[in-house]
Amino acid sequence: MKTRNAFQHEEIFVQLIREQKERFYLLAYNYTKNEQDALDVVQDSIQKAMLSLDRLENVEYMKSWFYKIVVRTAIDFLRKHKRLQVTDDDTLQYLTPAQEDVYENVDLEHALEDLPQMYREVVILHYFEDLKLADVADILNIKLSTAKSRLYKALKLLKIQMQDVKGETAHG
C-alpha cells in the first residue's frame, strides 16, 4: 500500500511542480535576488522534496509542504553564501526607468525590497501566494500570533515607506 501511495504522491508532486514552477522560482528569487542562485534553490528543493515525498502523510498539504522546503532551502543557501547581493542584468535593465510612469513602480519595488526578510516573506506568502495565515506560520515555522503581528508590522512599514516616497516626489 505504501508503495502505491508513494507512487501517487510522485505523480501529484510532478504535476504540482510543473504547474507552479514559476511561483516557486519567484519565491526563491525573492530570497536569493539572483537568477542563478534562485535556479539552484529550485533544483535543490525539488530533489530534497522527492527524497522525502514518502514521508508526506497528506497530499493536501503538499503545496504548503513544498513552499516550506523552498523557503528553508533558500534561507539555508543565504546563510551559507553571505555575500553582496548581486543584481543580474535582466533585473537591472528591468528596473531602469525607461518612461516616466515607471518611476512609481520602482519606488514600490523598493518599498517591498526594503522590508526586512521576516516581514517581506509574510507579505509574499499571504498576499501574493494566497496562503492562509496559519499555513504561512507553519511554512515559516513561527506561531500564528507571530505571523499576524509580523503582517501588521509589515503593512505599517509599507505604508510609512510609501508615504515617505510620495512626500519626496511631491517636493521634488
Q: Which is closer to other proteins, CB of 80 or CB of 171?
A: 80
**Alpha-carbon radius of gyration of the chain:** 18
Burial of 42 (0-12, 13-18, 19+ CB in 10 A): buried
* Residue pair 72/101 in contact by the 8 Å Cβ criterion: no
To other proteins, the closest distance from the beta carbon of 171 in angstroms equals 20
To other proteins, the closest distance from the beta carbon of 36 in angstroms equals 7
Burial of 119 (0-12, 13-18, 19+ CB in 10 A): buried
To other proteins, the closest distance from the beta carbon of 52 in angstroms equals 5
Nearest to 78 by CA among 124, 40, 108: 40
Q: Which is closer to other proteins, CB of 21 or CB of 172?
A: 21
Contact positions vs other proteins (CB under 8 A): 6, 10, 14, 17-18, 21-22, 25-26, 29-30, 35-36, 39-40, 42-44, 46-53, 69, 72-73, 76-77, 80-81, 90-91, 94, 105, 108-109, 111-112, 123-124, 127-128, 141, 158-159, 162
Distance in angstroms (rounded) separating the CA atoms of residues 125 and 155: 14
To other proteins, the closest distance from the beta carbon of 39 in angstroms equals 4
